[in-house]
Amino acid sequence: MPAFNNHLIDETSPYLLQHAHNPVDWYPWSDEALQKAKSENKPILVSIGYAACHWCHVMERESFEDEDIAKIMNAHFINIKVDREERPDLDHIYMDAVQTISGNGGWPLNVFLTPDCKPFYGGTYYPQKRAFNRPSWREILESVIDAFQKKNDDLKLQAENLTAHIIQSNSFGIQNRDQQNEFEQIFDPTQMDEIFNNIMKSADRTDGGFGIAPKFPQTFTIQFLLHYYYHTANESALTQACLSLDKMIAGGIYDHLGGGFARYSTDNEWLAPHFEKMLYDNALLIIVMSEAYQITKKDIYANTIKQTMEFIKRELFSPQQGFYSSIDADSEGEEGKYYVWSKKEIDEILQEESQLFCSYYGVTERGNWENKNILHTNISLDEFAAGTRINKNELLQRLGEAQKKLLSERNKRAAPLLDDKIILSWNALMNTACSHAFAALGIEEYKALAINNMNFLLKNFEQKGLFYFSHCFKNDRTKFPAFLDDYSFLIAALIKLQEISGDTFYLIKAKEITSFVIDHFEDEETGFFFYTHQDQQDIILRKKEVYDGAIPSGNSVMALNLLYLSVIFDESAWKEKSIQLCTSLGKVIIKYPTSFGVWATLIQSISYDIPEVVITGEKLNSVRKEFLSNFIPFKVYQSATQKDEQFPLLKGKPVKDQPLLFLCKSYNCQSPVTETAELIRVLKNVQKFNE
């Protein structure tokens, strides 16, 4: 029996359950805890983290399992543990506070609040004893206790000022409607050149990616470059996009045995990752690799998509057809232990094939990370085959067999913790990734996966009541009202699923959800959307998130959704709203495109004519699949096997045995063609004419 139990014992979050037996008397974020803080007039400590977070585990071992430190915390604070993935709204608010206080942020996020939940001090990881130029956790606790007892008025004033600052900064970069730039200024293709130049200022032209370590995938920036290449034929854009993907695939950030990408690299060369694997990172990388494959037809992208999809199905897919959240960085208390190898281990497992494998994957006696080896490649398969004089197909077979043996052996190790909660927004991103992978590769299994997952989401997350959808699901229970990300990503997934299936139900559902978001999330003053529903009461303020960070901004995705659906349903007001959102942020998008990657891609799409494509035919599956395999950055697309008068694009379109392909603009369509290649040729000619 555990020595301690606290108020987290009945939670479903794996992260909260990790702390359920700490001697700290943790509460979940709840009315009970917040009322207790008020009635006892105690400061609140909110500690925020997530299951795959390495430094969260370190701080737990060092401080939250220390009984002497727990006594201090229990005597003087109401202690609340928050899973940032369950409550991203709280994380956004209090992360802003800590970044304002200290100039940086991260997890674990430890923030101190007044009894009315206003932040006055905070930081990230604190060691048990002074280290890394950081005070100890005990010292932090004692200084906060002293300030709360002796300088309470100053502390309250600081909390009020800090809260006011968060509210004020909530509108950074958003112009008032009467101060917006003219349409022509923002949506001029020459502005895309400026965005491209600003992106390339931070591009690493040797190792790919943008900026310096730690390096994140920045898939939205890569996607902008792919779209920019399509519109301009600028080879340097395609080169940088593909270099970034190639280097990530070759590096240690990619799991060469099991597939899937880690969250980020700690070095410039993508060698040493932070080993946690997040569902959303892999979804976003599948999306951008699918587009890269559509452009280049390079085998490396097709193979990586397939292997990553296999990883997702094997390790992050539930029997109920939902996708789990993440896999921890640590196993047996050590970061990366599950993934790294000594050369001796590989020699013993692979025997005579070891030399070939170690040569290709850079394995040495000395190792490349803490005396062990992270598998990576410094040479392309073609170059390696030429150097070894082994036929490429034979080489692929031999390396593949070696990978299977090592993966089988790795599966015997103590596996990292799986965070098996199912989050609506991340599932929607993965659903979109399945649709992209199907479009690029034509593998029917991926379409079936998207359809089955969407059925699961609509069945289990949709609610009868005030909040319509829930945010997360575990143990057959949904929790928390859905946030803007949940709704916007779900709408986007429904749109993409309609494209690959031709099922108009998904469009009708997307419109229904969009109307709900406008009614309950829109800020009438700015036109942007709040992160939280207007009736959610347990937060001190409603934030508007506009940055495209690790995941897209809910606002940027809503702007994309509004633009697409405005054509599908002839809702001109939705198009105006989308354009207004873009123009409100226009200057900062152009100046800081790596922080507004989805926005930049959207205004690039608006800057050129957005094609409207319709395919009709009683038997059109093969033509639809052929059409989808082509790269068209942003299009509005419908297909139909029978006449349908309820959608403007389909209205009046004949349906015959032989498929007909229509290219339209503002519902005015050219004469139909019968071959996909002819449609693509006409589309390219129209594009050149518009330029």
Read off the pLDDT of residues 209-227 as tens digits, 9 standing for 90 and up.
999 999 999 999 999 999 9
Nearest to 83 by CA among 521, 474, 553, 433: 474
SS (H, E, C) 217-247: CCHHHHHHHHHHHHHHCCHHHHHHHHHHHHH
d(CA 159, CA 249): 46
d(CA 128, CA 50): 20
pLDDT for the residue numbered 556: 98
Pairing of strands 78-83, 27-28: parallel
> What angle is formed at CA 68 by the lines to CA 63 and CA 73, rounded to 5 degrees?
70
d(CA 111, CA 116): 14
pLDDT for the residue numbered 168: 84
Architecture of domain 14-169: 3-Layer(aba) Sandwich (3.40)
d(CA 72, CA 180): 53
Read off the pLDDT of residues 340-384 as tens digits, 9 standing for 90 and up.
999 999 999 999 999 999 999 999 999 999 999 999 999 999 999
Percent of the chain topping pLDDT 70: 97
Nearest to 421 by CA among 665, 31, 88: 88
Domain ranges of the chain: 14-169, 178-329+419-607, 339-412, 612-690
Nearest to 61 by CA among 19, 20, 25: 19
d(CA 242, CA 304): 13
Token digits of residue 519: 């009614």
pLDDT for the residue numbered 597: 97
**Which CATH number does the domain 178-329+419-607 belong to among 1.50.10.10, 1.10.3720.10, 1.20.1560.10, 3.40.190.10?**
1.50.10.10
Token digits of residue 132: 């890394």
pLDDT for the residue numbered 689: 46
Model confidence band, residue 189 (pLDDT cutoffs 50, 70, 90): confident
> For the residues 519-538, what does the mean pLDDT come to?
95
Q: How does the average pLDDT of the chain come out, rounded? A: 94
> For the residues 621-634, what does the mean pLDDT come to?
96
DSSP-based three-state secondary structure for 544: coil
pLDDT for the residue numbered 177: 54
pLDDT for the residue numbered 430: 98
pLDDT for the residue numbered 184: 58
SS (H, E, C) 390-416: CCHHHHHHHHHHHHHHHHHHHCCCCCC
- For residue 184, the 8-state DSSP code is H
Question: In Å, how far from its chain's centre is CA 511?
Answer: 23
Has residue 647 got a pLDDT over 50? yes
Token digits of residue 64: 């939250």
Has residue 275 got a pLDDT over 90? yes
Which stretch of DSSP H or E encloses residue 46? strand 44-49
Has residue 181 got a pLDDT over 70? no
Q: DSSP characters for 187-204?
A: S-HHHHHHHHHHHHHSB-
d(CA 317, CA 450): 12
Sequence-distant (≥ 6) Cβ neighbours of residue 606 within 8 angstroms:
187, 563, 578, 579, 582
Token digits of residue 300: 């490396």
Do residues 502 and 614 touch, judged by C-beta distance below 8 A?
no
The residue among 400 and 465 whose pLDDT is bigger is: 400
Model confidence band, residue 172 (pLDDT cutoffs 50, 70, 90): low
Do residues 309 and 437 touch, judged by C-beta distance below 8 A?
yes
Q: How far is CA 470 from CA 179, 395, 459, 688, in A?
A: 37, 49, 11, 46
Read off the pLDDT of residues 39-64 as tens digits, 9 standing for 90 and up.
999 999 999 999 988 899 999 999 99
The four Cα atoms 549, 555, 560, 565 give a dihedral, to 10 degrees, of 150
Report the range of poorest mean pLDDT among 13-17, 385-389, 399-403, 518-522. 385-389
Model confidence band, residue 179 (pLDDT cutoffs 50, 70, 90): very low
Model confidence band, residue 104 (pLDDT cutoffs 50, 70, 90): confident
d(CA 105, CA 123): 7
d(CA 98, CA 94): 6
Amino acid at 437: A
Give this prediction's pTM: 0.96
> For the residues 545-564, what does the mean pLDDT come to?
97
The residue among 178 and 673 whose pLDDT is bigger is: 673
d(CA 240, CA 261): 19
d(CA 572, CA 577): 9
Nearest to 255 by CA among 103, 60, 145, 416: 416
Pairing of strands 78-83, 44-49: parallel
> For the residues 421-427, what does the mean pLDDT come to?
98
Has residue 176 got a pLDDT over 70? no
Q: What ranges make up the beta strands (E) of 374-492?
A: 418-419, 422-423, 470-474, 477-481
